[in-house]
């Protein structure tokens, strides 16, 4: 039985190197054709009319004006008379026309009458909802006894709003029929899973007739797992019109219907003993992921407080259904927990680092990891010298603060298949039904090939982004890198063994004694008996050696479960409420690092998105109209380059990490920034800003409320 | 700029292009003369992408905020989504494609690759143009100059660390787009 | 966007003539106008490009004023205003940031851009009236007005207007009937009905220039602007303050004008803050006094009490910048 493993630590040829991403040059020169850039001969432009009301019933619909407009080639009613619309921007009618402008003209000619129904979009007060859900309750230990034993109890109300994915490439696709077969160039996180979903979604064909392509994509973050209604209708319009149809969402649609993360509101009590041991946790949480509501987030996060009582209520709203947003539920749980713990430490007049260390045994499996990470983080930030209690301030309006947070994630590789072919001319290629979201998937697959065959990265070819290739899971939950490296490594090792078997006689050696290294095949330990890779390949015969590999499979190539620690260093202007990030430090555990440069980019990326939701990002719904007021990139604020401070990424590396195999890195670094930044701001200004994002108005409101409370106290 | 349609009307001495008339717009795009006929409402970005298949500039916010559509128009940095194509008639347009090709990258583009200043890459064309504009004037910018020069561009994946490294890398940018119509050959910097 | 006609006159006379046509709107840099068109907030019949109109561009001394052509790009204004000592204007313009905006955006366009109020941009109109009531007081008004008493709650979006107003600038407005000059702050009006504009311009009138009085007197008027913004990147200010003062030889303020931005439907000339400065030595204490006096009478809405504080802090800091300048001079 063949064994599958990574080369022993210290013997890697390609793994771990700081190689540049393979698709870097095509992206940096604008040559990369994203699905949104696809132009086909005779291609039509699709656009959709959406509902301006958050809750309404369609009572009349007339598309004749659109149908008769010159340049319009197909019209489809998505939701007809009688349909109840559950959120603003829900799709009503789609048209395909010779230009985008004419498609819009056609939509303007559609007449829709709505019966406007009552809506509910502000979940802050959960009692207003139209559909009361039963709360879920859970407890462990003896919460009452726990609180009774606590000498310090902190009560907090915290909140984190719904935010958007805001993929720069909007959702959409180009669909082209040839006979009964349709090719869809989609911006998707799942080329292999989309064909069946198209059929399930109502496209009148067989999954076998649906081919999905995605060479490059402009961001997904968990929002692009489905063909969506516009995908189905886009393909239908193409069929109706007998011409390819390009259908991408406008930005306001993208924000309003194509991706949000659920909110969480919380009332929390946490109790600790005088020596700083956490003993009790009680939380009442609620939140919304739009129309379906949302489930509970895993609080208390990371720290398994012995006595807990938790109640969660899902609150449906007339807003889009949320989608998986990078590390689903973790950033919310992390913020609620770490902010509360930080406040408990402050109440105990303890350094939060000491408080965390005092409770580290509650973290379970990763206790030792966290301990090591906290040590590194403290040293790198000068925490012991620089941290000061919340009660101490600098002169002037600028106040500096430090905050820390811990997080965890799984990251096990998903199901993946990969075909690896060695051609007689020595060329090597992998064919795999996966996609590169910008995380570097293409590059890591190539690196695994190069490592296995002892070649350079430019000597191998990766073919991906096509549902005709062996199926690989959708890219989500940090599952891709483990999955695709697993399937590729297994296929490549088997292909190499096959090559060894065929050339071993020529080297007068047993196949098991051969190794591929530095562009040659040689007898391990005897480099005099060797041949070039090209020569070896030329001996395999006329037909390529093609081998399939899969993940999961035999041998330990990947693992799950990581811990991470982050520290934020901020300066808050207490007169304006403006927070500036000085530095964000991430210490991350992630198993075998395939490409150090790309791994660091993933961490920076997580930190930057984290700054976004900590300081700026929030979907704002209008109570009157039920519409989003900031379905744009102007008042839905992403962090800019000047807003993120200095970022530092530390990957935990060494033989013990490498031996775990590959673990996904997409989610973990985005979990802690909200909590770490919130704690840093609290440390800077002396008070907890109870709600993210910590905009100037929220910081000032917190300070003004504290001033008012102090004034009241003085009066009394 | 001329008009392709006969139905254009005159208002005094001023030529008026009717709402559904097509105006002839002649541009130099990356040194190549291009001709298109578009209604007045067509933006420079749609002209480039939908009419000329120049898809380096991206449509993202489409409201002059995110910078993914950034191009040089006669040496000025502009949001192509917020310019009407008819307004850009006669202009020299330089897009990210005008700097280099995958096989022959501009040093600035090579620096983007080297410093991994891109992930999904959708914002990259805009950042390349904005940085080229800065570095041409100021080869060794400080952080405040970098922040201002890139303040009209947004990235979602989070490539700012790499972008700052590129800005500080000392890469030379010479003449990526010119105010007058000569010297296309100098574009490769 | 809906289709519209397009004219590109080459002289002001021609432009004014075409602008008389119903539904005609002037097109300057277009950075705001294209957005309004795409959102279908406005639906003009015709755009009149000012790109080729001679003599609308440039900054120069003309007697006792600095004349700034309406089509002067913001980037050019920043360079020239710096030389001319119009610090409040330079500072305000620089904070618009994005080079893509500064290159194309013009002085006239910046002054005549429409409010960013999200109810207005969503198509609910300037007053956001529904059923006879404004949606703003009970809606999300975190960025709305704290000064002025309704019924308009949007804030004037211009960065330049408060700075120019502090310096006593006037806009030159032209039409086929001739020219008139109006104080910057009077270019704007508070609409009382949905069919009224936020500009005091008549149909067919065009802003063609701004005239800023040349700093006069032995010490000259010195000015500064301070803005509070959430991000360093392209963003809208939460509040701004522009201050212009004249001081005597003892550094005592003899004249002062303080104008707040993003707090009212018009640039808000803050008389109280100005008065608080007169007779005071230009120092930190005077700055604190002006700050405390600023935005008096503010009536914040449900979500924007913080803006009162920001207006005060912006005022204080704008004065502090002047005080620091006096110290180093």
Q: Residue A59 burial (CB < 10 Å; 0-12/13-18/19+)?
A: exposed
Mind listing the pLDDT tens digit for each residue in A385-411? 999 999 999 999 999 999 999 999 999
**In chain B, which residues have their Cβ closer than 8 Å to the Cβ of A644?**
158, 160-161
Determine whether the interchain pair B147/C51 forms a contact, defined as Cβ–Cβ distance below 8 Å: no
Mean pLDDT of chain A, nearest integer: 97
Q: Could you say which residues from 285 to 324 on chain C have a Cβ atom under 8 Å away from some Cβ of chain A? A: 303-307, 309-310, 313
Mind listing the pLDDT tens digit for each residue in B23-41? 999 999 999 999 999 999 9
Determine whether the interchain pair C309/A704 forms a contact, defined as Cβ–Cβ distance below 8 Å: yes
Determine whether the interchain pair C230/A105 forms a contact, defined as Cβ–Cβ distance below 8 Å: no
What is the model's pLDDT at position A128?
A: 86
Confidence check: pLDDT of A39 > 90: yes
**In chain A, which residues have their Cβ closer than 8 Å to the Cβ of B20?**
none
Residue A594 Cα to chain centre, angstroms: 19
Return the closest-CA partner of residue A626 out of A263, A259, A252, A320: A320
Could you tell me if B163 lies within 8 Å of chain A, comparing CB atoms? Answer: yes
Dist CA C6 CA C4 (whole Å)? 7
Confidence check: pLDDT of B189 > 60: no
Confidence check: pLDDT of A514 > 80: yes
In 3-state terms, what secondary structure has residue C193?
A: coil
Mind listing the pLDDT tens digit for each residue in A9-24? 999 999 999 999 999 9
CATH level 3 topology of A260-411+559-715: Aldehyde Oxidoreductase; domain 4 (3.30.365)
Q: How confident is the model at residue B177 (pLDDT cuts 50, 70, 90)?
A: low
Mind listing the pLDDT tens digit for each residue in C146-171? 999 889 999 999 999 999 999 999 99
Q: How confident is the model at residue B178 (pLDDT cuts 50, 70, 90)?
A: very low
Q: For residue A329, give how far its alpha carbon lies from the nearest alpha carbon of chain C (Å).
A: 27
CATH of domain A24-32+413-551: 3.30.365.10
Residues in chain B: 189
Determine whether the interchain pair A624/C138 forms a contact, defined as Cβ–Cβ distance below 8 Å: yes
Identify which of C3, C122, C230 has the shortest CB distance to residue A695.
C230
- Is residue A648 a contact partner of residue C158, using CB atoms and an 8 Å limit? no
Does residue B156 or residue B185 have the better pLDDT? B156
Dist CA A129 CA A114 (whole Å)? 22
Provide the CB-side half-sphere exposure for C313 (13 A, CA): 19
Dist CA A123 CA A161 (whole Å)? 9
Q: For residue C253, give how far its alpha carbon lies from the nearest alpha carbon of chain A (Å).
A: 25
Residue in chain C lying closest to B63 (CA): C35
What is the model's pLDDT at position B138?
A: 95
Q: For residue A104, give how far its alpha carbon lies from the nearest alpha carbon of chain C (Å).
A: 8
Residue in chain C lying closest to A629 (CA): C118
**In chain C, which residues have their Cβ closer than 8 Å to the Cβ of A700?**
306, 309-310
Q: What six digits make up the tokens of B8?
A: 């254009």
Determine whether the interchain pair C228/A637 forms a contact, defined as Cβ–Cβ distance below 8 Å: no
Mind listing the pLDDT tens digit for each residue in A20-38? 999 999 999 999 999 999 9
**In chain A, which residues have their Cβ closer than 8 Å to the Cβ of C236?**
634-635
Determine whether the interchain pair A643/C231 forms a contact, defined as Cβ–Cβ distance below 8 Å: yes
Q: What six digits make up the tokens of A187?
A: 């911006």
Determine whether the interchain pair C230/A578 forms a contact, defined as Cβ–Cβ distance below 8 Å: yes
Return the closest-CA partner of residue C299 out of C310, C308, C290: C308
Dist CA A370 CA C133 (whole Å)? 56
CATH of domain C222-328: 3.30.390.50
Helix (H) or strand (E) holding A237: helix A228-241
Mind listing the pLDDT tens digit for each residue in B97-123? 999 999 999 999 999 999 999 999 999
- Is residue B118 a contact partner of residue B124, using CB atoms and an 8 Å limit? yes
Rg (CA), chain B: 17
**In chain A, which residues have their Cβ closer than 8 Å to the Cβ of C310?**
576-577, 696, 700
Q: For residue C110, give how far its alpha carbon lies from the nearest alpha carbon of chain B (Å).
A: 14
Could you tell me if C199 lies within 8 Å of chain A, comparing CB atoms? Answer: no
Residue in chain A lying closest to B116 (CA): A20
Size of interface A-B (CB pairs under 8 A): 187
In 3-state terms, what secondary structure has residue A658?
A: helix
**In chain C, which residues have their Cβ closer than 8 Å to the Cβ of A88?**
none
Dist CA C94 CA C80 (whole Å)? 12
Q: How confident is the model at residue B4 (pLDDT cuts 50, 70, 90)?
A: very low
User: Does the fold of domain A260-411+559-715 match that of domain A35-118+171-248?
Assistant: no
Determine whether the interchain pair B110/A28 forms a contact, defined as Cβ–Cβ distance below 8 Å: yes
A47, A124, A576: which to substitute to probe chain C, counting the most C Cβ within 10 Å? A576
Confidence check: pLDDT of B141 > 50: yes
What is the model's pLDDT at position C54?
A: 86
- Is residue A152 a contact partner of residue A280, using CB atoms and an 8 Å limit? no
Beta-sheet pairing, C239-247 with C253-261 = antiparallel
Question: What letter would DSSP give residue A513?
Answer: G
Determine whether the interchain pair B83/C34 forms a contact, defined as Cβ–Cβ distance below 8 Å: yes
What is the model's pLDDT at position C216?
A: 61
Mean pLDDT of A296-301: 97
Mind listing the pLDDT tens digit for each residue in C82-109? 888 899 999 999 999 999 999 999 999 9
Give chain A's largest Cα–Cα span: 96
**In chain C, which residues have their Cβ closer than 8 Å to the Cβ of B57?**
none
Mean pLDDT of A154-161: 98
Confidence check: pLDDT of C214 > 90: no
Residue in chain C lying closest to A695 (CA): C230
Mind listing the pLDDT tens digit for each residue in C115-146? 999 999 999 999 999 988 999 999 999 999 99
Listed in sequence order, the DSSP H helices in B47-159 are: 107-114, 124-137, 143-149
Provide the CB-side half-sphere exposure for A621 (13 A, CA): 31
CATH level 3 topology of A35-118+171-248: Aldehyde Oxidoreductase; domain 3 (3.90.1170)
Q: How confident is the model at residue C326 (pLDDT cuts 50, 70, 90)?
A: low
Dist CA A480 CA A667 (whole Å)? 11
State residue B130 phi and psi, 5-degree precision.
Answer: -65, -40
* Residue ranges per structural domain of chain A: 24-32+413-551, 35-118+171-248, 260-411+559-715
Whether the link from the prior residue into A552 is cis, omega within 30° of 0, is yes
Confidence check: pLDDT of B59 > 50: yes
Q: For residue B104, give how far its alpha carbon lies from the nearest alpha carbon of chain C (Å).
A: 27
């Amino acid at each position: 039985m063949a064994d599958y493993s990574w080369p022993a630590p210290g013997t890697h040829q390609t793994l771990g190197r700081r190689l540049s991403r393979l698709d870097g040059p095509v992206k940096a020169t604008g040559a990369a054709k994203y699905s949104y850039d696809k132009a086909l001969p005779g291609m039509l432009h699709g656009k959709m009319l959406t509902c301006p009301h958050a809750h309404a019933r369609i009572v009349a619909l007339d598309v004749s004006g659109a149908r008769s407009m010159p340049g319009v080639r197909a019209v489809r009613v998505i939701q007809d008379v009688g349909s109840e619309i559950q959120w603003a921007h829900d799709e009503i009618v789609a048209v395909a026309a010779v230009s985008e402008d004419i498609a819009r003209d056609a939509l303007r000619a559609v007449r829709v009458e709505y019966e406007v129904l009552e809506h509910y979009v502000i979940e802050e007060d959960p009692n207003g909802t139209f559909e009361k859900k039963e709360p879920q309750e859970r407890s462990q230990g003896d919460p009452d006894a726990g609180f009774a034993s606590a000498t310090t109890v902190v009560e907090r109300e915290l909140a984190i709003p719904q935010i958007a994915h805001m993929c720069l490439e909007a959702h959409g696709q180009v669909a082209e029929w040839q006979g009964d077969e349709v090719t869809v160039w989609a911006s998707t996180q799942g080329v292999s899973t989309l064909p069946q979903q198209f059929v399930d979604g109502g496209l009148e064909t067989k999954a076998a007739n649906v081919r999905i392509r995605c060479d490059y994509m402009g961001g997904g973050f968990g929002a692009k797992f489905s063909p969506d209604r516009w995908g189905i209708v886009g393909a239908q319009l193409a069929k109706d019109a007998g011409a390819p149809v390009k259908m991408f969402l406008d930005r306001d649609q993208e924000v309003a219907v194509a991706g949000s993360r659920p909110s969480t509101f919380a009332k929390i009590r946490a109790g600790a003993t005088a020596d700083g041991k956490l003993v009790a946790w009680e939380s009442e949480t609620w939140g919304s992921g739009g129309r379906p509501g949302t489930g509970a987030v895993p609080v208390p996060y990371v720290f398994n407080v012995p006595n807990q009582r938790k109640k969660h209520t899902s609150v449906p709203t007339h807003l889009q259904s949320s989608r998986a947003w990078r590390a689903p539920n973790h950033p919310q749980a992390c913020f609620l927990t770490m902010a509360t713990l930080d406040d408990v430490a402050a109440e105990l007049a303890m350094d939060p680092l000491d408080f965390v260390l005092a409770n580290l045994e509650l973290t379970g499996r990763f206790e030792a990891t966290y301990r090591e990470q906290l040590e590194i983080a403290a040293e790198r930030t000068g925490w012991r010298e620089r941290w000061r209690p919340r009660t101490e301030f600098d002169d002037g309006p600028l106040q500096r603060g430090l905050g820390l947070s811990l997080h965890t994630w799984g990251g096990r590789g998903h199901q993946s298949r990969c075909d690896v072919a060695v051609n007689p001319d020595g060329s090597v290629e992998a064919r795999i039904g996966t996609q590169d979201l910008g995380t570097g998937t293409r590059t890591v697959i190539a690196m695994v090939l190069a490592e296995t065959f002892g070649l350079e990265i430019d000597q191998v070819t990766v073919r991906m982004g096509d549902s005709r290739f062996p199926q690989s899971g959708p890219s989500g939950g940090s599952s891709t890198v483990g999955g695709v490296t697993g399937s590729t490594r297994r296929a490549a090792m088997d292909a190499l063994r096959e090559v060894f078997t065929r050339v071993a006689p020529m080297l007068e050696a047993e196949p098991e004694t051969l190794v591929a290294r530095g562009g040659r095949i040689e007898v391990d330990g005897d480099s005099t008996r060797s041949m070039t890779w090209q020569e070896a390949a030329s001996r395999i015969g006329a037909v390529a050696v093609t081998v399939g590999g899969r993940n999961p499979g035999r041998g330990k190539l990947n693992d799950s479960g990581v811990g991470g620690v982050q520290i934020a260093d901020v300066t808050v202007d207490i007169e304006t409420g403006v927070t500036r990030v000085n530095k964000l430090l991430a210490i991350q555990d992630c198993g075998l690092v395939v490409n150090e440069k790309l791994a660091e980019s993933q961490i920076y990326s997580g930190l930057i998105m984290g700054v976004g939701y900590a300081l700026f990002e929030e979907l704002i719904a209008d109570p009157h109209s039920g519409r989003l007021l900031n379905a744009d990139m102007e008042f839905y604020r992403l962090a800019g380059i000047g807003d993120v401070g200095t970022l530092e990424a530390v990957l935990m590396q060494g033989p013990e990490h490498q031996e775990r195999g590959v673990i996904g890195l997409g989610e973990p670094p985005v979990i802690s920034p909200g909590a770490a930044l919130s704690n840093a701001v609290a440390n800077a200004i002396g008070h907890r800003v109870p709600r993210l994002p910590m905009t100037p108005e929220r910081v000032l409101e917190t300070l003004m409320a504290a001033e008012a409370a102090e004034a009241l106290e003085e009066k009394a | 700029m001329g008009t392709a349609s006969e139905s254009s009307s005159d208002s005094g001495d001023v030529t008026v292009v009717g709402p559904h008339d097509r105006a002839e717009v002649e541009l130099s795009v990356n040194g190549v003369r291009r001709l298109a006929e578009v209604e007045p409402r067509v933006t420079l970005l749609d002209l480039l992408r939908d009419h000329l298949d120049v898809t380096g500039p991206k449509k993202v916010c489409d409201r002059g905020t995110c910078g993914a559509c950034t191009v040089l128009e006669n040496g000025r940095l502009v949001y192509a989504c917020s310019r009407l194509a008819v307004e850009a008639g006669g202009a020299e347009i330089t897009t990210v494609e005008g700097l280099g090709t995958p096989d022959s990258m501009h040093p600035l583009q090579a620096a983007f690759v080297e410093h991994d200043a891109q992930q999904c890459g959708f914002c990259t064309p805009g950042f390349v143009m904005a940085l080229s504009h800065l570095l041409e004037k100021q080869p060794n910018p400080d952080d405040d100059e970098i922040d201002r020069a890139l303040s009209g561009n947004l990235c979602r994946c989070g490539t700012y660390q790499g972008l700052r490294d590129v800005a500080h890398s000392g890469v030379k940018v010479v003449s990526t787009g010119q105010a007058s119509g000569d010297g296309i050959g100098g574009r490769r910097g | 966007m809906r289709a519209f006609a397009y004219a590109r006159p080459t002289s002001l006379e021609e432009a004014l003539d075409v602008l008389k046509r119903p539904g005609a709107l002037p097109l300057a840099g277009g950075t705001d106008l294209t957005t309004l068109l795409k959102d279908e907030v406005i639906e003009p019949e015709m755009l009149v490009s000012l790109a080729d109109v001679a003599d609308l561009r440039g900054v120069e001394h003309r007697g006792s004023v600095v004349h700034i052509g309406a089509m002067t790009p913001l980037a050019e204004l920043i360079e020239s205003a710096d030389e001319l000592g119009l610090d409040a204007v330079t500072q305000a313009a620089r904070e618009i940031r994005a080079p893509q905006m500064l290159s194309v955006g013009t002085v006239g366009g910046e002054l005549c851009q429409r409010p960013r109020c999200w109810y207005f941009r969503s198509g609910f109109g300037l007053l956001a009236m529904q059923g006879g009531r404004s949606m703003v007081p009970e809606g999300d008004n975190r960025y709305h007005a704290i000064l002025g008493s309704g019924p308009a709650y949007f804030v004037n979006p211009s960065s330049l207007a408060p700075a120019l107003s502090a310096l006593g600038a006037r806009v030159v407005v032209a039409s086929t009937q001739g020219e008139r000059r109006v104080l910057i702050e009077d270019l704007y009006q508070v609409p009382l009905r949905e069919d009224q504009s936020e500009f005091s311009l008549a149909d067919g009138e065009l802003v063609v220039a701004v005239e800023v009085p040349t700093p006069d007197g032995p010490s000259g008027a010195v000015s500064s602007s301070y803005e509070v913004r959430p991000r360093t990147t392209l963003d809208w200010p939460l509040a701004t303050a522009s201050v212009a003062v004249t001081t005597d030889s003892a550094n005592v303020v003899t004249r002062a004008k303080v104008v707040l931005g993003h707090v009212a439907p018009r640039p808000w000339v803050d008389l109280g803050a100005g008065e608080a400065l007169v007779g005071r030595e230009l120092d930190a204490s005077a700055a604190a006094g002006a700050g405390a006096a600023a935005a008096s009478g503010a009536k914040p809405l449900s979500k924007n009490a913080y803006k009162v504080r920001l207006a005060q802090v912006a005022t204080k800091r704008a004065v502090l910048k002047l005080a620091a300048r006096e110290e180093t001079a």
